[in-house]
Amino acid sequence: MLGLLYEDFMIALGAIFDNKVRSILTLLGIVIGILAVTLMGTLISGLDRSFDRSMDFLGRDVLFISKHKWFDNRSWWEIRNRPNIKPDYVEDIKRQSRYALAVTPSVTRRVSVIRGKNSLMGVELEGTTSESIQTSTANIARGRFITTGENRSGSRVAVIGHDVARELFANENPLGGKIKLGNYRFRVIGVIEKQGKFLGLFSQDNVVVIPLGTFERLFSRRGWAQIKVKVAAENMAKAKDELTGILRRLRGLKPGEEDNFAINQQEAFRDQYNMIKLAIGGTGVFITILSLVVGGIGIMNIMFVTVKERTREIGIRKAIGATRNMILGQFILEAVIICLAGGAVGLGLSWGGSLLIDQFIFPSAMPVWLALFSIFLSVAVGLVSGLAPAYRAARLDPIEALRYE
């Protein structure tokens, strides 16, 4: 049995190499199909990992109170005219909420950061309180965070992100160093550990944190404000309802009036991400199916041509004792080998693409199950596309086949 299989394999391989150009053109559809399914799978796998890390940055147990809803479809002017979220709400929320474990205000704006001849533009400046460390997943790599006393006194101290420390201080110790935020000088008291990019798009390390009191005194309260509320994971829904009631009272809303604020959580990002992932996956599946169908039809047509060209050979093999099953297996095996070759080429190209994605876009790697699935898919296409031509070859009458010229 193994000897017969080996013989069929060698005959099929010889036939493929005898028609190299035709075989290469035939397997292009399979290459494109396997490339599409593996590259899309690798891309989605990398996106999943990058997304999960980014969501950890937001905090799975943190609610964000702001004046607009994330991914809101309403007009910008309608949202813009809402009253701002006031940091003063923090004390009221602490006093009235049963579920809040930590409540911190956050006011942000973009500034330039200068140290000597080095400067960074568009750095995110955040004004917050000492409790902010409780509502954040970031840790302090060196030094310390701001204190309550520094916030009350409006001290000019700053905690800088990893990128800011790397660009402005290079190989020097940034602790105790002086930086300039706009027109004001600050002393560095801490460095935040490296966070990476949010959703692979923009750096979370390009940030400077200063006391809220200092921010309000020096930057005239300008900036985008929100309040972060940390709650126990099992109380997220209850806390959201409770905070809605508290905010409506604080903002003087009457029964029936629409909320002029929003309570956001990371699920909003997850919902949007799932929609994007579905679109990417759907596109990949469509391209894969289309490519494999076209490739399968191409292989079937070529196999019909091959059967016609080798009719006399089939007659000779039958005359010396080859059974229908032997002929059937030979031509199916030939179709499978062509598809496997296309799958291997597509898999190799996809693997190279995954390395480029991992190097230049976001961490990514081709899952083992996806590589195995692509091989299985190649074999399946080969079996389906080679079955009809192989069946025709197996049913040829040996006498008529020997007479064929």
Q: Indicate whether 226 and 314 sit together in one domain.
A: no
Domain C-terminal end among 265, 284, 300: 265
Report the predicted TM-score, pTM, of the whole model to 2 decimal places. 0.67
Q: Indicate whether 333 and 200 sit together in one domain.
A: no
Q: Indicate whether 171 and 302 sit together in one domain.
A: no
Instruction: Show Cβ contacts of residue 208 under 8 Å, excluding neighbours closer than 6 positions.
Output: 111, 113, 123, 124, 125, 126, 158, 159, 160, 161, 164, 179, 181, 186
Tell me, what's the pLDDT at 337?
82
Say how far apart CA 202 and CA 315 lie, in whole Å.
Answer: 67
Q: Indicate whether 284 and 222 sit together in one domain.
A: no
SS3 7: helix
**pLDDT greater than 90 at residue 187:** yes
Higher confidence at residue 288 or residue 14? Answer: 288
**pLDDT greater than 80 at residue 399:** no
What's the pLDDT band for 144 if we cut at 50, 70, 90? very high
Tell me, what's the pLDDT at 369?
83
Say how far apart CA 42 and CA 348 lie, in whole Å.
Answer: 13
Q: Indicate whether 66 and 38 sit together in one domain.
A: no
Higher confidence at residue 251 or residue 323? Answer: 251
Q: Indicate whether 281 and 236 sit together in one domain.
A: no
Q: Indicate whether 256 and 281 sit together in one domain.
A: no
Residue among 4, 7, 5, 16 at smallest CA distance from 306: 16
What's the pLDDT band for 125 if we cut at 50, 70, 90? very high
Tell me, what's the pLDDT at 56?
64
Tell me, what's the pLDDT at 328?
80
What's the pLDDT band for 13 if we cut at 50, 70, 90? low
Q: Indicate whether 301 and 178 sit together in one domain.
A: no
Q: Indicate whether 229 and 374 sit together in one domain.
A: no
82-86, 125-129, 263-267, 398-402: range with highest mean pLDDT: 125-129
What's the pLDDT band for 236 if we cut at 50, 70, 90? confident
Range of the structural domain that residue 210 is part of? 61-265
Domain C-terminal end among 224, 246, 265: 265
